[in-house]
Amino acid sequence: MKVSPEFRKQLQGYGLTTAEILYRMPDHPALLQSYIWQDYDLFPEFPTLRKFLDFWARTLDGPLFKVTVGHNRLIKPADLKAIGAEFRIH
Name the domain count of the chain: 1
Contact 60, 24 (CB under 8 A): no
pLDDT one-digit tens code per residue, 56-76: 999 999 999 999 999 877 766
Asked, for residue 37, whether it belongs to a domain, the answer is yes
Model confidence band, residue 3 (pLDDT cutoffs 50, 70, 90): confident
What DSSP string runs through 28-61? -TTSEEEEEEEEEE-TTT-HHHHHHHHHHHHH-S
How much of the chain is helix, strand and coil, in % rounded to 5?
Answer: 20, 30, 45
The whole domain housing 55 covers 5-71
The pTM score is 0.77
Asked, for residue 78, whether it belongs to a domain, the answer is no
Model confidence band, residue 23 (pLDDT cutoffs 50, 70, 90): very high
Q: How far apart are CA 25 and CA 65, in angstroms?
A: 10
Asked, for residue 64, whether it belongs to a domain, the answer is yes
CA distances from 90 to 47, 84, 85, 87 (A): 48, 20, 17, 10
